[in-house]
Amino acid sequence: MGINTRLIHGGISWDKQTGAVNIPIYQTSTFKQKSLGETYGYEYSRTGNPTREALESLIAELEGGLAGFAFSSGMAAISSVFMLFNSGDKIVLPDNIYGGTYRVMENVFKRFGLRAVYIDTTKIEEVEKAFEGKARAIFIETPTNPLMDVTDIRRVAEVAKRAGGLTIVDNTFMTPYLQRPIELGADIVVHSATKYLGGHSDVVAGLAVTATEELKERLHFIQNSVGAVLGPQDSYYIIRGVKTLGVRMDRHEENAMKVAKWLRTQEGIEKVYYPGLPDHPGHKIMKGQADGFGGILSFRTSTPQLALKILNGVRLITLGESLGGVESLICQPATMTHASFPEDIRGRLGIDDCLVRLSVGIEDADDIIEDLRTAMGG
Ligand SMILES: *Cc1c(COP(=O)(O)O)cnc(C)c1O
């Protein structure tokens, strides 16, 4: 079955008890037992809840993995995955990564002895070198946030596998509609379902998918022990969001391409970072590993004043953190999403006051462009 069909009918998509076409919201913390030691399949909602399970089976199927796990946020999913490792283990990460992932690694997991190495994961030699240094895993985002660097998932997974390490991919920007890292060799996929999967800026949620039985057992143990689970109501919202993911992603991408092409013709816009543009350095790799380029782009203005003018001048586009909602969202990574990065790293990467990130929504592209034009002052 095609991906659009699976978005709607994948996993446990209807209620076997009543025939309800939507999985009910099982708003319960605990479950009655038939007799001592004999259950109806569930015991306690931290361990398992039917609505959450419907979402978990759906994301596992969409990502082509063995098991899915739903968490209370993307950060809860990522943190739970980091808990698979032991004190002293070395984890490789991209040097431009989601700010929250950097923050939790540097300020929480380092205290428990995890050792993080930040490299340019687009350079396979750097990945090889990191694994020669006995890394246990590599955690990648592709494209990266906010510079839209593209990493070759197949090659990274090969290097990691050869060294006996795990490949973990944060697939938030692409979603399984456009990119399925497990099919390319990854072991674990994580998501901030807050973004495209939910799609309507109304839920905070996280997901993880494992490719093997062993990882499934270990991550389930952590999910149940640590308990950062997604509630039944929010699980329902994510399931509902996923049903329209295909049509939304198609429009996000169509609009992003139009906005990217328009932006690069504008005076004062020095650079547009969008992998859908044929001259983007990651364009070819992305064509080989994804079914599209998504709806996020960044751009660099010639002066910080122009960036400020745009950020404060937009009316239709919302100034705010987050991305992947139906509405266009704009932000300045240096002061917002990536403020927890040390200034020297930000400076080296070019995450400065001239860099603007735009999550292109599904409004009419002409209106988005008009809003940017007006904000830029003509
Ligand atoms: C938002 C985001 C996260 C964190 O997810 P939350 O749901 O906000 O906890 C992680 N990775 C990426 C790429 C994100 O965009």
Q: What are the domain boundaries of the chain?
A: 3-243, 247-376
Residue nearest to atom 4 of ligand 1 (CA): 74
Catalytic, 287? Answer no
Catalytic, 98? Answer yes
Residue 108 has pLDDT above 80, yes or no: yes
Residue 378 has pLDDT above 80, yes or no: no
Residue 123 has pLDDT above 90, yes or no: yes
Mutate to test the pocket of ligand 1, among 72, 75, 173 (most ligand atoms within 8 A of CB): 75
The residue among 67, 186, 190 whose CA lies nearest residue 138 is 186
Least confident stretch, 43-47, 88-92, 218-222, 318-322: 318-322
CA atoms within 13 A on the CB side of 181: 33
The pLDDT value recorded for residue 191 is 98
**Separation of 316 CA from ligand 1 center, angstroms?**
24
The pLDDT value recorded for residue 337 is 84
Over residues 29-40, mean pLDDT = 96
Options 170, 187, 234, 371, the catalytic residue: 170
Q: What is the dihedral of CA 33, 38, 40, 44, to 10 degrees?
A: 60
From the alpha carbon of 101, which atom of ligand 1 is closest? 10
Are 316 and 340 within 8 A, CB to CB?
A: no
Over residues 12-41, mean pLDDT = 95
Q: pLDDT exceeding 70 applies to what percent of the chain?
A: 100
Distances (CA, A) of 10 to 3, 131, 190, 195: 9, 37, 18, 20
292, amino acid identity? G
Cα distance between residue 268 and residue 302, in whole Å: 5
The residue among 210, 222, 190, 175 whose CA lies nearest residue 4 is 175
The pLDDT value recorded for residue 348 is 85
Distances (CA, A) of 197 to 106, 240, 249: 27, 9, 10
**Separation of 191 CA from ligand 1 center, angstroms?**
7
Q: Average pLDDT, whole number, for the chain?
A: 96
The pLDDT value recorded for residue 347 is 84
**Separation of 9 CA from ligand 1 center, angstroms?**
26
Q: Is the minimum distance from the CB of 177 to ligand 1 under 6 angstroms? A: no
Which residue shows structure tokens 């329902």?
Answer: 236
Split at pLDDT 50, 70, 90, the class of 281 is very high
**Separation of 139 CA from ligand 1 center, angstroms?**
14
User: What homologous superfamily does CATH list for 247-376?
Assistant: Aspartate Aminotransferase, domain 1 (3.90.1150.10)
What kind of architecture, by CATH, is found in domain 3-243? 3-Layer(aba) Sandwich (3.40)
Over residues 318-327, mean pLDDT = 95
The residue among 226, 188, 239, 24 whose CA lies nearest residue 112 is 226
Least confident stretch, 24-33, 146-155, 230-239, 340-349: 340-349
Options 180, 195, 248, 346, the catalytic residue: 195
Model pLDDT for residues 330-356, shown as the tens digit of each residue: 999 999 988 888 888 888 888 999 999
**Separation of 333 CA from ligand 1 center, angstroms?**
13
Alpha helices by DSSP H, the chain: 3-9, 50-63, 74-82, 99-107, 124-132, 153-162, 175-178, 213-226, 232-243, 245-263, 283-289, 304-313, 343-349, 365-376
From the alpha carbon of 173, which atom of ligand 1 is closest? 13
Residue 11 has pLDDT above 90, yes or no: yes
Options 52, 90, 95, 98, the catalytic residue: 98
Provide the 10 A C-beta neighbour count for residue 74: 25
Which residue shows structure tokens 């950060």?
Answer: 75
The pLDDT value recorded for residue 314 is 97
Which residue shows structure tokens 């596998």?
Answer: 161
Provide the 10 A C-beta neighbour count for residue 291: 15
